[in-house]
Chain A
Amino acid sequence: MRSLIKKLKLNTLKTAVTFKSCWNYLFFDIPKSWRTDILAPPLRIGVKTKELITKHYLEGMYANGIKPVAWVTSGAPVEFLKALGFYTLYPENHGALCGARKVALELCQEAEKNGYCIDICSYARTDIGSALSGKTPVGRLPKPDLLVCCTNICQTVLYWYQVLAHHFKAPLVIIDTPFIYTEASLPDVEYVQKQIETAIETAERIAKRKLKFEKLKEVMRLSKIATELWLEVINTGKNIPSPISAFDQFIHMAPIVELRGEPQTVDFYAQMLKELRKRVKKGIGAVIKEKKRVLWDNLPIWYSLKLLSETLAENGICVVTSTYTYAWGELAPMIDPERPIESMAKVYLHPILNRGTGDKLSLMKRMVKDFRLNGVILHSDRSCKPYSVGQMDQRAKIVQELKIPAVLIESDHNDPRAFSEKQVLNRLKAFMEM
Chain B
Amino acid sequence: MERIKAIGIDAGSTAIKVVGINEKGNIVFYKVEPTSFQMKPQLEKIIEELPKDVPIGATGYGGDLISNATITASEIRCHSKGAHLFLKGPGTVIDIGGQDSKVIVIDQEGEVIDFTMNDKCAAGTGRFLETTAWRLKTPVEEMARFAEKADREVQVSSVCAVFAESEVISMVAKGEPMEAVIKGLHRALAKRVASLAQSLNIIPPILLSGGVAQNPVIKSMLEEELKEKIIVPPYPQLMGALGAAIISMESKTKVTNR
Residues of chain A at the chain B interface (Cβ within 8 Å):
392, 396, 399-400, 405, 408, 410, 420, 422-423, 426-427, 429-430, 433-434
Query: Which residues of B (114-147) have their CB < 8 Å from a CB of A?
Result: 114-117, 119-120
Contacts of B112 in A (CB 8 A): 405, 430, 433-434
B74 at interface, CB cutoff 8 A: yes
Query: Which residues of B (75-113) have their CB < 8 Å from a CB of A?
Result: 75-77, 111-113
Q: How far is the CA of A433 from the CA of B114 in the complex (A)?
A: 11
Contact A433 B74 (CB under 8 A): yes
How many A-B pairs have beta carbons closer than 8 Å: the answer is 39
Knowing A426-B119, A430-B74, A430-B76 are in contact, say whether A392-B61 is a contact too (CB < 8 A). Answer: no
Contacts of B73 in A (CB 8 A): 429, 433
Highest count of chain B CB atoms <10 Å: which of A410, A420, A422, A433 = A433
Contact A426 B201 (CB under 8 A): no
B199 at interface, CB cutoff 8 A: yes
Knowing A392-B199, A396-B201, A433-B112 are in contact, say whether A423-B119 is a contact too (CB < 8 A). Answer: yes
CB distance from A377 to the nearest CB of B (A): 14
Contact A422 B61 (CB under 8 A): yes
Q: How far is the CA of A399 from the CA of B116 in the complex (A)?
A: 12
Q: How far is the CA of A398 from the CA of B138 in the complex (A)?
A: 45
Contact B75 A430 (CB under 8 A): yes
Contacts of A423 in B (CB 8 A): 119-120
CB distance from A364 to the nearest CB of B (A): 17
Contacts of B117 in A (CB 8 A): 426-427
Knowing A410-B120, A422-B61 are in contact, say whether A430-B115 is a contact too (CB < 8 A). Answer: yes
Q: How far is the CA of A399 from the CA of B112 in the complex (A)?
A: 12
Residues of chain B at the chain A interface (Cβ within 8 Å):
61, 73-77, 111-117, 119-120, 199-201
CB distance from A308 to the nearest CB of B (A): 16
Highest count of chain A CB atoms <10 Å: which of B61, B114, B120, B199 = B114
Q: How far is the CA of A392 from the CA of B116 in the complex (A)?
A: 10
B120 nearest in chain A by CB position: A410
Q: How far is the CA of A399 from the CA of B107 in the complex (A)?
A: 14
Contact B199 A426 (CB under 8 A): no
Q: How far is the CA of A410 from the CA of B119 in the complex (A)?
A: 10
Q: How far is the CA of A429 from the CA of B75 in the complex (A)?
A: 9
Contact A396 B75 (CB under 8 A): no
Across the A-B interface, the 6 shortest Cβ-Cβ residue pairs = A430-B76, A430-B74, A429-B74, A423-B119, A433-B77, A399-B114
Contacts of B74 in A (CB 8 A): 426, 429-430, 433
Highest count of chain B CB atoms <10 Å: which of A408, A420, A422, A430 = A430
A433 nearest in chain B by CB position: B77
Q: How far is the CA of A302 from the CA of B120 in the complex (A)?
A: 21
Knowing A422-B61, A433-B112 are in contact, say whether A396-B119 is a contact too (CB < 8 A). Answer: no
Highest count of chain B CB atoms <10 Å: which of A400, A410, A429 = A429
Among B76, B111, B120, B199, the residue within 8 A (CB) of A396 is B199
